[in-house]
Amino acid sequence: VNARSMKPGPLPERPVIAVVGAGAVGGYYGLRLARAGFEVRFLLRGDYEAVVSNGWRVRSVAGDFDMPPGSTRVFRDPSAIGRADLVVVTLKATANEDLGRLVGPLVGEGTAILTLQNGLGSEETLAEQFGAERVMGGLAFVCINRTAPGVIEHLSHGLVKLGDFVGGDTPRARQVSGWFRAAGIECEVLKSVAEGRWEKLVWNIPFNGLGALLDAPTDRLVGCDAGLRLVRGLMDEVVRIAASAGVSLPPDLPEFHIRRTVKMGAYQTSMQIDRRMGRPLEIEAILGRPLKIAQINSIDAPLLGMLYDLLSIVNIGKDIRVP
Amino acid sequence: VNARSMKPGPLPERPVIAVVGAGAVGGYYGLRLARAGFEVRFLLRGDYEAVVSNGWRVRSVAGDFDMPPGSTRVFRDPSAIGRADLVVVTLKATANEDLGRLVGPLVGEGTAILTLQNGLGSEETLAEQFGAERVMGGLAFVCINRTAPGVIEHLSHGLVKLGDFVGGDTPRARQVSGWFRAAGIECEVLKSVAEGRWEKLVWNIPFNGLGALLDAPTDRLVGCDAGLRLVRGLMDEVVRIAASAGVSLPPDLPEFHIRRTVKMGAYQTSMQIDRRMGRPLEIEAILGRPLKIAQINSIDAPLLGMLYDLLSIVNIGKDIRVP
């Protein structure tokens, strides 16, 4: 198989789906697909032993469910999984240097690779290694935490938006979207993955970034003038950077995001939780790459630059304290 | 006595000095003056009982010393102190609503009031209440912490720069400076208190502000590219705001401050310690007033604005957690 040459055609009707990085997001969507009868194979690392012994427990606003030990196919070694028709990548973006090693063994002739990771750059990294035609990009709009190995707490939302990296709304994107919907997951097809990513970044940059910096859930950020000023200032910068990258976002997007966030209550973003848990922060994917684009396109983004530098120091400090 | 009419003349040769707010800075300088034979009366609040019972312990790079119980005159009630010739104010700027009540009873016909508080605005507040002619302003360049009631740890430096609020380098300023030097305190007379304050703010805004926000001592801020970028960016904004307020600072001041800070090692600023101790932060005096001046004078200061908003959220959060 030449991993770099592939025509994006329809995937099989009964696909093998592999989930690489089955934390909160990968675990949740993968388990929903498995419960709907899809053949799903999970690649786990740190949580492997616990899931083999205890299975999964999902506490979800869409209905709790447990998956007992042995009811799902879990793997520790990617080469034991075999070829997949669809690889769903939900690794932390900080682990992207492992993408080739973890995804490579799963890629066969017609394999598509869908990244649901945060931030910018994952499609590009996958495209470099496996060819752009294989790559699909998606966004998970979901409040979800992995509270212990194999234990997932799904607090609200759940929408997935996905599309082909090249072409956006393609027959393949509609096919994969249909599988998600068949599994009870709200799913839309994106006309442009890039547009979807920037739209989400307008939310992620302030709420993940400030949330991690201040150890503050969303309600503290939208609950005071200082927080709203910071959120709006950052959102405005991201909208301008997106425009410089050719992505024109709706002018009312920042206020739409803010209204939606007020309704979410006290949500702790993944980056806030990562900071609390002493894990590396997804700074480069969520803030660093947009900032780099601002610099290349000469867009003034002082708040994003400052947030990036502040979080870099937080990250250094944590690495020192938690080796 | 009309508290608002007074000619700034020479003070008595054997003055009564009152120290209002005898934490680290007030305690240290007041005790040095007392040891040199000056009549010093200390106004204490929370630490009164401990000092009455145990006296003071000073661990200082300039030489340790203890002041046993009864060896200093300490008061809890300002009206018991009597009139002072010089009132040295070292309250936290966050307690400035108490200035009138605490300083008023000490003010007689010839009383001068020297504020060694951080940030901007204390001279103006005192001038409004007691008349500008009484007011002197000073800056303490000292690394010093109050580690327990009556226990002061003096880590490095110690220079005081002071001047008259109106006139800067006056005979009265030289007289007070002479007292400090007679007590072994390095002391210079300022040509302009405003210039001295802005010069110190160029240091205080980044190191107090970022130090409190990130819970980071100075060495972490000058020890990485991200930290240096933030420090320099903030310093440049403060220099521009000072210029808009008519204070022209030397162009090499930021790099001078940075070199000096690298030599200081791992210093925890007072605002970092305040955050750790759950105390209110001196945000308004150190960041809010300079930011207000930037806004009035239409100076772009996005980093200072962001730091101010971030610290405001930290302050709110702490008030909630530590009632």
Q: What is the per-residue pLDDT for B1?
A: 46
Mean pLDDT over the full length of chain A: 93
User: How high is the ipTM of this complex?
Assistant: 0.87
Distance of alpha carbon A311 from the chain centroid: 19
Question: What is residue A8's predicted lDDT score, i.e. its pLDDT?
Answer: 66
- Give the residue-averaged pLDDT of A64-71: 96
Q: Do B229 and A303 touch (CB under 8 A)?
A: no
Question: Catalytic one among A191, A200, A263, A292?
Answer: A200
> At a CB cut-off of 8 Å and minimum separation 6, what does A246 contact?
A194
What does the pLDDT look like over A266-286, one tens digit per residue?
Answer: 988 989 988 998 889 999 999
Q: Which residues of A touch B307 (CB under 8 A)?
A: 306
Q: Record the tokens describing residue A10, joined without a space.
A: 């329809």
Looking at residue B171, its pLDDT comes to: 96
Instruction: Choose, from B7, B92, B191, B200, the residue flagged as catalytic.
Output: B200
pLDDT category at B6 given cuts 50, 70, 90 is low
Cβ B313 vs Cβ A226: under 8 Å:
yes
Mean pLDDT, range A305-316, rounded to an integer: 95
Task: Determine the residue among B236, B310, B319 to mutate to test chain A binding: the one whose Cβ has the most chain A Cβ atoms within 10 Å.
Answer: B310
Q: Which residues contact B28 (CB under 8 A, 6 or more apart)?
A: B58, B60, B142, B144, B152, B154, B158
Residues of B near A (CB-CB distance < 8 A)?
210, 213-214, 216, 220-221, 224, 226-227, 229-230, 233, 302-303, 305-310, 312-314, 316-317
Q: pLDDT by residue (tens digit) across B263-276?
A: 988 989 989 988 99
CA distance B96 to A176: 64
Percent of chain A with pLDDT over 90: 84
pLDDT digit string, tens, across residues A88-124: 999 999 888 999 999 999 999 999 999 999 999 999 9
Q: How many CA atoms lie within 13 A of B84 on its CB side?
A: 28
Asked if B141 and B162 touch (Cβ cutoff 8 Å), the reply is: no
Residue B315 CA to residue A230 CA, distance in Å, equals: 15
B113-132 pLDDT, tens per residue? 999 999 999 999 999 999 99
CB contact under 8 Å between A313 and B229, yes or no, is no
pLDDT at B317: 55
Å from B213 to nearest chain A CA? Answer: 8
The shortest CB-CB distance from A313 to any of B214, B312, B316 is to B214
B30 or A5, which is more confident:
B30
Using a CB-CB cut-off of 8 Å, the residues of chain A touching B230 are 306, 309-310, 313
Give me chain B's average pLDDT, please. 93
Beta strands A135-148 and A151-164 are antiparallel
Q: How confident is the model at residue A318 (pLDDT cuts 50, 70, 90)?
A: low
* Catalytic-residue membership of A200: yes
**Bridge partner list, A119:** none
How many A-B residue pairs are in contact by the CB < 8 A criterion?
Answer: 73
Q: Name the residue in chain A with its Cα closest to that of B222.
A: A313
Top-confidence residue, A264 or B201: B201
Rounded distance between C-alpha atoms, residue B158 and residue A170, angstroms: 70
- Residue B163: strand pairing partners: B137
Evaluate if residue A144 carries a pLDDT over 70.
yes
The per-residue pLDDT for A320 is 34
What is the separation of C-alpha A73 from the centre of its chain, rounded to a whole number of angstroms?
A: 22
Distance CA A171, CA A168 (A): 10
A119-129 confidence digits (pLDDT tens): 999 999 999 99
Which among A299, A303, A279, A314 has a CA at the least distance from the CA of B310? Answer: A303
Helix-, strand-, coil-residue percentages of chain A, each rounded to 5: 50, 20, 30
- Burial (0-12, 13-18, 19+ Cβ within 10 Å), A211: buried
Share in percent of chain B as helix, strand, coil (round to 5)? 50, 20, 30
How much of chain B exceeds pLDDT 90, in percent? 84
Q: What is the pLDDT of residue B279?
A: 87
**Weakest-pLDDT range from B139-153, B169-183, B215-229:** B139-153
Kindly state the tokens that stand for B193: 């208190």
* Closest by Cβ to B226, choosing from A216, A221, A313: A313
User: Which H or E run includes B109?
Assistant: strand B107-115
Q: Is the pLDDT of residue A1 over 50?
A: no
**In angstroms, rounded to a whole number, what is the distance separating the alpha carbons of residues A114 and A162?**
8
